[in-house]
Amino acid sequence: MSDKLQEIEEIFEKYIEAGKILSKVRSQAVDRVKVGGSVLEIAEFVEQKTIELGAKPAFPCNISANDEAAHATPRKNDESVFGKDMIKIDMGVHIDGYIADSAVTVDFTGNSDLVKASEDALYAGIDCIRDGISTADIAGAIEDAITAYGLKPVANLTGHGLAPYITHAPPSIPNRRINKGITLHSGDVIAIEPFATDGAGRVADGSWSEIYSLIEKKPVRLPAARKVLKEIEPYRTLPFAKRWLTSDRLEFALTQLMRNNIIRSYPVLKEVEGGLVSQAEHTVIVTDDGCEIITR
C-alpha cells in the first residue's frame, strides 16, 4: 500500500471510530433524558463521556427545546430542567479533527408525527446517496418525506460536509428542493440533517448565545482578552461553550474579541412563528454504490 493510500485509510478509520464513540454516547444520553432532569447534566455527560472514551467534543452539546432548532447549550451553573418539551440533542465527536456529527429528537409533547417526519427525511436522503448523486436529489427526497406529513422542512438550515476541524464545510445539503446541486463523490464525508416543523419553515437568530468559535488569531491589547484567546486556542476552529472557559472578566473579553472579528457567536436559532421543530442527523461516508452511516 502506498503512503498516500495508507494515510487515507487512517483518516477514514478516525472518522469511523469517532462515529462509534458518538453512537455510544448518544444512546446513553438519550436514556438519561427525563422530565424534571437537569439540562446541564446531560450536556456535561455527553462532553465528558466523549473524552472518557478517547475522543473530544467537536462542539458543545446542543440541547434545543420546542421552537429552538439549534445552537442552544446550557449556561454555566444552569438550573434548567426538561419539561414536556420537544428536545433536540445534537452532538459532535472528533478524533484528531475528524468529525462525526449526529442529532436525535426526544419528544415529551406527544407530537410523534413531527419526530417521524425528520427521521423519515433523514433516511430518505441517505437512501439516495451514492457516487455521482447531486445534492439536489437528496434535497428533494428530504422535502418530500417531510411534506408527506403535512409539515414543512426548515428551509434555511442544511446538512453539510465535514472537514478536519471544520464542522460545517461545503457542500451544503438543503432540506428543500433546489434546481441545481453539487455532485457528491466516493469518499466525501457529509452530515444529512433534516429539520421538520409545524411552523413557517424558517429560523432566525434568537436573543442569546452561549457558543463561539475562533475566526482568526490576531494580536490583542487587553490582558483579559489575551487570556481568553489563549484558553480557546486548543479548540482551533471548532466551536466552544462559554461555560468551558474559566477566565476572569469573561463577558468583557468575549465582547472585545467579537468586536475585533477574532471570534464569532452562534445565537440560538428559533422557528420564526414559534413552531415546534424536530431534528434527525447522521454522518455518512459516500461510497461507489451507496454510503456508510458511521453514527448509526
Task: Name residues whose C-beta falls within 8 Å of residue 172's C-beta, 6 or more positions apart in sequence.
Answer: 135, 158, 159, 160, 161
Residue 20 contacts residue 98 (beta carbons within 8 Å): no
68 marked as part of a ligand binding site: no
**246 to 51, 58, 119, 131, 243: CA distances (angstroms):** 19, 19, 38, 46, 8
160 marked as part of a ligand binding site: yes
**Catalytic site residues?**
90, 101, 160, 168, 193, 281
Cα–Cα distance measured from residue 270 to residue 288, given in angstroms and rounded to the nearest whole number: 37
Cα–Cα distance measured from residue 117 to residue 144, given in angstroms and rounded to the nearest whole number: 10
101 marked as part of a ligand binding site: yes
| Closest-CA residue to 151 (of 174, 126, 176) | 176
Q: Which residue has the cell 453539510?
A: 160
Which 3-state string (H, E, C) describes 19-33? HHHHHHHHHHHHHHC
282 marked as part of a ligand binding site: no
Q: Exposed (0-12), middle (13-18) or buried (19+): which is 231, by Cβ within 10 Å?
A: middle
Q: Which helix (H) or strand (E) holds 16?
A: helix 3-32
Q: What are the cell numbers at 221? A: 491589547
231 marked as part of a ligand binding site: no
Question: What amino acid occupies position 225?
Answer: A
Residue 277 contacts residue 199 (beta carbons within 8 Å): yes
β partners of residue 293: 284
Residue 98 contacts residue 236 (beta carbons within 8 Å): no
292 marked as part of a ligand binding site: no
Q: Exposed (0-12), middle (13-18) or buried (19+): which is 10, by Cβ within 10 Å?
A: exposed
Residue 253 contacts residue 247 (beta carbons within 8 Å): yes
281 marked as part of a ligand binding site: yes
- Binding positions for substrate are 71, 168
For the annotated binding site, the residues are 71, 90, 101, 160, 168, 193, 281
Q: Annotated binding residues for a divalent metal cation, as ranges? A: 90, 101, 160, 193, 281
